[in-house]
């Protein structure tokens, strides 16, 4: 019992080769896009302005920190406040981000998506590459 008719093997070989090649391109592109997105990443501390601090003379304090410092991609320079937080993190106004509907992208999210795309395209390249080799050997 044959799985594939011999007359269809050249078509299968071409399709598998093309899909393996596309999977390799996707694998390479995942790393290139990730590097492009994360090149402007900075350690960022989001800050909510604190009205009580300004009333009591604590003018140095930019506000209440939200969460912990994270590596984020923020391309709007106006979102950054003067000064630095702990560990040299750049301060970012949460009010500014909210008013303009800006949602900073975390580097760990970019890395997760890159890793998933790389894993999927790498597996596809192996499967379709193996199918291409098998079909090439069958055609002879």
Local confidence band at 56 (pLDDT 50, 70, 90 cut-offs): low
* Pick from 37-46, 48-57, 118-127: least confident: 48-57
CA distance linking residue 76 with residue 104, whole number of Å: 10
pLDDT tens per residue, range 75-131 = 999 999 988 887 889 999 999 999 999 899 999 999 999 999 999 999 999 999 999
Beta-carbon count within 10 A of 79 CB? 20
Q: Do strands 64-73 and 80-84 pair parallel, antiparallel, or not at all (unpaired)?
A: unpaired
């Amino acid at each position: 019992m044959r799985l594939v008719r011999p007359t269809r093997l050249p078509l299968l070989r071409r399709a598998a080769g093309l899909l393996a090649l596309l999977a390799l391109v996707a694998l390479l592109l995942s790393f290139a896009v990730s590097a492009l997105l994360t090149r402007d990443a900075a350690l960022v501390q989001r800050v909510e302005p604190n009205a009580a601090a300004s009333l009591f003379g604590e003018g140095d304090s930019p506000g209440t920190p939200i969460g912990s410092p994270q590596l984020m991609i923020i391309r709007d320079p106006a979102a950054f406040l003067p000064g630095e937080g702990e560990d040299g993190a750049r301060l970012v106004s949460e009010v500014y981000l909210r008013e303009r509907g800006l949602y900073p992208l975390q580097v760990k999210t970019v890395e997760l998506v890159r890793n998933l795309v790389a894993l999927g395209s790498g597996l596809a390249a192996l499967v379709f590459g193996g199918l291409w080799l098998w079909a090439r050997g069958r055609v002879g």
